[in-house]
Structure 1
Amino acid sequence: PLSEKMISEALKEQGYATSAIGKWHVGDHADLHPPRQGFDHWFGFAGGAMNYWGESNGPLRTIFRNENKVPESELSYLTDDFTNEAISFIENNKQDPFFIYLAYNAPHAPDHATKQYLEKTKHIEYGGRSVYAAMVNGVDTGVGKIDAYLKEKGLKENTILVFLSDNGGRTMHANNGPNRGHKGMLFEGGIKVPFFMVWQNHIKPNEAYDEVVSSLDIFPTLLNAAGGNVKGEKQLDGVNLLPFLDQKNEKPHETLYWRSVGGFEYAVRHQEYKLYKSAYKGKIMLFNLEKDPLERHDIAENHPEIITKLKALYTAWDSKNVAPGWVDPHPENVIKEEKNFRMIREKSLRPKN
């Protein structure tokens, strides 16, 4: 809802020009599109997925620039179009502070790729994965072009780049291994993603940070770097990561929470333990992620006291959340997927005589 303050609005207060490019998917109605949410510039589509050739299919799958539909004749391959639009926005705003939320829809379905990117993945003999990898390659190429442009214009030193995915890879073609699970699940394969930050002369290069962080930390980290007052913002669940990157004896989070569809599934990570109320498996599971980071051993039966503690933490946290304003098909899809999973496994068994 418009009552929530987005990072775009917070950065505009600091004098930043703001742009949203790519997939939006946090407000279908025109009243909730980026121009109403603190973005000076918008180039993208409102829904969750779209044809990569820019072929329009309803209001959620149409490319807009601000309030105007972009003619399909002006579009090529959306991943490349989004990259070019980002570079154009930087060019037009490079004299002043700018913020870009660049949300590539790749490698979300449908599976579309250009000959250029397919050529680079032809060594992958599984066709579906070869196309998927080509779509990822398009993102890699785009990020590289933006980085090269920032260097060329002398902007790299004073620009923070943050790269991450919104969830783990999907069931088909992706590979989240060795982590367990996939997109939609709260196993590590569904929620643990690559997360990179670059800021020359402020963040040491070529280092890995091993403590648990969240995408929720981006808002306070960037606002603090831009000179804003994080403490003045209400209900930010994340923290400013910059001090923790230097003081490596402290942890940004002792506890993190995940909730889907009003608690249909949820997970709590507290210190070394992770509780997962899994609708897929129809039970509450417990893992020690220090000893078992790949979640192979459910230790719930042996530690009822830890289950009780983590449930209480979740209940206290969830009591402050609002009820969902709508539901999505996640519950029914989970049930179908688990049923199909079990059926495939049972079919593989040798029949009894």
Structure 2
Amino acid sequence: MKTPYFLCCGLAFTGLIPLHAQSHQLPNIVLINIDDLGWTDLSSNGSKYYETPHIDQLKKQGIWFQKAYAGASNSAPSRACMLTGMNTPRHGIYTVGNPDRGKKELRKLISYPNREELPEGIQILPQVLKRAGYQTFHVGKWHVTQDPCDCGIDVNIAGNHAGNPSTYFAPYQNKNLSDGPQGEFLTDRLGNEAARLIQKVNKSQPFFLYYATYAVHTPLQAPEELIEKYRRKQPTTAHSNPVYAALVEVMDRNVGKVLRAISESGQADNTIIIFTTDNGGVYDISKQWPLRAGKGSFYEGGIRVPLIIYQPHRFEHKKITETAVSQMDLFPTIMEWTGISDSLQFDGKSLMPLLESENDSAFKERPLYWHFPAYLEGGNVETVDMDFRTRPVSVILKDDWKLIENYEDGRIELYHLKTDLGEKQDVSQNCPQKVKELKTLLDNWKKRTNAPCHFKKNPYYQPSQGRQGEL
């Protein structure tokens, strides 16, 4: 079968020319971004049902961030935040598709417009790396523009604007991936493609690989023999879906395939691996307990994600447990790794002081912010809203205190995550000074970023007759 490399701008795979003589000394960077894998979906971070031995080993070898956050609670905005290093008001991607999802009679406010693609001219990580002499490769889900090749990617395999695969079994119906044999499994195919890129890379130049496999997003499909394995395995209250468990295992074995290719390439010591996921797990498929709710929500289950950074003999055998970090920090961190001095605007900050220090104190923690001026249907008992996973909100997290501002009714929620990780006790009424402090910081941030928050009322709104959930 012919390998379907999509070469951009007419560049030959091994013919890229370095932009400066020392480029070969720069570190290779492999960014692994899994789709919809929740914080507790790793067997080393909570699950007694799913099996993720390769990611578990990477977690053991590398630096694990216990309090890592996505820039948004669903896919496109999260990926846009990570790839630009900027928060949602800067790039305008707030959600996937329409911002007014859900029944119009249940939406009290009119949503703000949503970009479905990153605007032209905005900074994007692979573009910046390419200008510095990197070979740039993408495998899997892109989702932030129509074509990764317009955003600094030299070789694109399977990436376009699609947010999920039509099917995991060939034929794939993917214009950027030629079909394999009937019944070939997409996750295995993409793992093979990523490993092949690493094996054939031009070693005279550094490379950047963005391996963003579509798994474990729906549709829930997996090889039947693995599904049967998990049908026979004892489930837990939180994790019990055998098809999802099988898809998780296939995803993990292909992460292992990529890691093995790096090890066998002879470049492992000069390769930095980043592993993360784009948002929390889907609540109806995989509970993230003790975290509350899941994908699409701005409670912890929707935005807290796994994050591992690993480079042999440099970034290894360490846990960062007290400091909250964001995926928006990855771009400025990579800039420091590479010494690239492009004049860029970041909402994140370099994690280098944290990576190289013996404790968290070397990194001055700052507030993290989220802004969502839209609606996302599909509520559940843990969002306490059976109609929406989230309605329009802004959020600030600072020093284990998390404040959520609800725009429909002006309601403020306040949680102290150090003592209440599950966000079960809203303490806003008991802590007026903390509410005032965080609300002031949040309001100032919204002004600085021009976050849209002056909503008009929806004339079609009728009070919901739906049930309200209970924690």
TM-score per shorter chain, which class? 0.7 to 0.9
Unmatched segments (≥5 aa) in structure 1:
325-331, 346-353
1:79 aligns with 2:187: yes
Residue aligned with 1:160, SS: strand
| Cα separation, 2, equivalents of 1:305 and 1:285 | 13
1:23 aligns with 2:141: yes
Pick the aligned partner of 1:53 from 169, 179, 194.
169
| Cα separation, 2, equivalents of 1:182 and 1:280 | 21
Counterpart for residue 354 of structure 2: 244
Residue aligned with 1:234, SS: coil
Report if aligned partners of 1:43, 1:63 keep a CA contact under 8 Å in 2. no
Deviation at 1:322, TM superposition (A): 5.4
Deviation at 1:293, TM superposition (A): 2.4
Report if aligned partners of 2:371, 2:451 keep a CA contact under 8 Å in 1. no
1:118 aligns with 2:236: no
- Which of 209-218 and 179-188 deviates more? 209-218
Unmatched segments (≥5 aa) in structure 2:
1-118, 375-390, 453-459
Give the alignment's Cα RMSD to 1 decimal.
2.9
Counterpart for residue 34 of structure 1: 148
- Over the matched positions of the two proteins, sequence identity in percent amounts to 30
**CA distance 1:124–1:54, change in 2 (3 Å):** farther
**CA distance 1:115–1:26, change in 2 (3 Å):** same
1:290 aligns with 2:418: yes
1:233 aligns with 2:233: no
1:5 aligns with 2:120: no
**CA distance 1:48–1:163, change in 2 (3 Å):** same
| Cα separation, 2, equivalents of 1:254 and 1:191 | 17
1:161 aligns with 2:273: yes
Counterpart for residue 256 of structure 2: 144
| Cα separation, 2, equivalents of 1:208 and 1:165 | 17
- Which of 263-272 and 175-184 deviates more? 263-272
Deviation at 1:47, TM superposition (A): 1.3
1:152-175 Cα distance to aligned partner (Å, 9 max, x none): 222221111111111111122212
Amino acid at match of 1:138: V
Counterpart for residue 328 of structure 1: none
**CA distance 1:116–1:322, change in 2 (3 Å):** farther
Report if aligned partners of 2:199, 2:261 keep a CA contact under 8 Å in 1. no
Counterpart for residue 445 of structure 2: 317
Report if aligned partners of 2:140, 2:213 keep a CA contact under 8 Å in 1. yes
1:104 aligns with 2:210: no
| Cα separation, 2, equivalents of 1:158 and 1:75 | 37
**CA distance 1:155–1:209, change in 2 (3 Å):** farther
Residue aligned with 2:429, SS: helix
1:100-133 Cα distance to aligned partner (Å, 9 max, x none): 1111221111101013533553314589611111
Residue aligned with 2:191, SS: helix
| Cα separation, 1, equivalents of 2:183 and 2:395 | 41
**CA distance 1:14–1:53, change in 2 (3 Å):** same
Residue aligned with 1:240, SS: coil
| Cα separation, 2, equivalents of 1:161 and 1:152 | 15
1:77-102 Cα distance to aligned partner (Å, 9 max, x none): 11111111111211221512111111
**CA distance 1:74–1:240, change in 2 (3 Å):** farther
| Cα separation, 1, equivalents of 2:161 and 2:180 | 16
| Cα separation, 1, equivalents of 2:429 and 2:308 | 37
Counterpart for residue 92 of structure 1: 200
Report if aligned partners of 1:184, 1:190 keep a CA contact under 8 Å in 2. yes
Report if aligned partners of 2:353, 2:363 keep a CA contact under 8 Å in 1. no
**CA distance 1:112–1:221, change in 2 (3 Å):** same
- Which of 115-124 and 87-96 deviates more? 115-124
Deviation at 1:340, TM superposition (A): 5.1
Report if aligned partners of 2:138, 2:148 keep a CA contact under 8 Å in 1. yes
| Cα separation, 1, equivalents of 2:244 and 2:198 | 29
Residue aligned with 2:244, SS: helix
- Which of 16-25 and 88-97 deviates more? 88-97
| Cα separation, 2, equivalents of 1:233 and 1:292 | 40
Deviation at 1:6, TM superposition (A): 0.7
Residue aligned with 1:121, SS: helix
**CA distance 1:281–1:189, change in 2 (3 Å):** farther
Residue aligned with 2:340, SS: coil
**CA distance 1:192–1:339, change in 2 (3 Å):** farther
**CA distance 1:323–1:304, change in 2 (3 Å):** closer
| Cα separation, 1, equivalents of 2:268 and 2:331 | 20
| Cα separation, 1, equivalents of 2:428 and 2:349 | 30
Report if aligned partners of 1:257, 1:268 keep a CA contact under 8 Å in 2. yes
Deviation at 1:281, TM superposition (A): 9.7
Deviation at 1:261, TM superposition (A): 3.0
Higher relative contact order (CA 8 A, sep 6+): 2
Amino acid at match of 2:162: G
Deviation at 1:286, TM superposition (A): 0.2
1:299-351 Cα distance to aligned partner (Å, 9 max, x none): 01112232222222122212233567xxxxxxx9xx98x94553xx7xxxxxx
| Cα separation, 2, equivalents of 1:166 and 1:16 | 24
Count of equivalent residues: 320
Residue aligned with 1:317, SS: helix
Matches of residues 300-339 of structure 1 in structure 2 within 5 Å?
300-321=428-449, 339=466
| Cα separation, 2, equivalents of 1:210 and 1:119 | 40
| Cα separation, 2, equivalents of 1:314 and 1:75 | 50
Report if aligned partners of 1:212, 1:251 keep a CA contact under 8 Å in 2. no
| Cα separation, 2, equivalents of 1:319 and 1:55 | 49
Could you tell me the TM-score, scaled by structure 2's length?
0.62
